[in-house]
Each structure stands twice: as structure tokens, then as C-alpha cells.
Homo-oligomer: A and B are copies of this chain.
Amino acid sequence: MGMPMELNTLIVTKANEKRVEENLFVLKKDGYRLYPIEIPIDIRKTLDGESRGTARIKKVEWENNCTTITYELISLNSSN
């Protein structure tokens, strides 16, 4: 038994995010992932890439072994 999950401390988009509103994006990831919600976290395109900015997760959904997060981009790094 036991439910496998993954603790995530940053958002890695791999360019799979979908914009739903001005600063609001939805991103679907494999597996059940635990993300901090309503807390500023770092956002990157790749795990080893540079930070692209800071986001705040507004919603987390777990279903069918996938995690869908809705996040608000709160600041962009100047180099992006």
C-alpha cells in the first residue's frame, strides 16, 4: 500500500503551461505532487535552467495519477 507522491519546492514548466488569463496559468504534471499553495515559489522552464520568476499556486488537483496546478505569475526575472 502507501501512496507514492513527490514533494515539489519549485515549478518546472517544461513549456507545458497553458495560459488561462492574463497572469494565470495551468500546468499538468505526472503523478501526485505536493506543492506549497498560496506561497511564492520559484518558476523555471527546466530543472537546471535559470529562475524565470516567482509564482503563487492558487489551486492543486490530484486525479488519475496526475497533478494539475493553477498558478499566478507574480514577478518575472528581468533577464527573461
Contact = CB atoms under 8 A, between A and B. Distances in A.
Contacts of A9: 1-2, 9, 36, 39, 41
A10 interface: yes
Copies of this chain, whole number:
4
B8 A6 contact: no
B3 A36 contact: yes
Contact of A59 (B1, B10, B37, B63): B63
A62 interface: yes
Contacts of A37: 3, 32, 62-63
A73 to B, nearest CB: 18
A8 B35 CA distance: 10
Interface in A47-78: 47, 58-63, 65
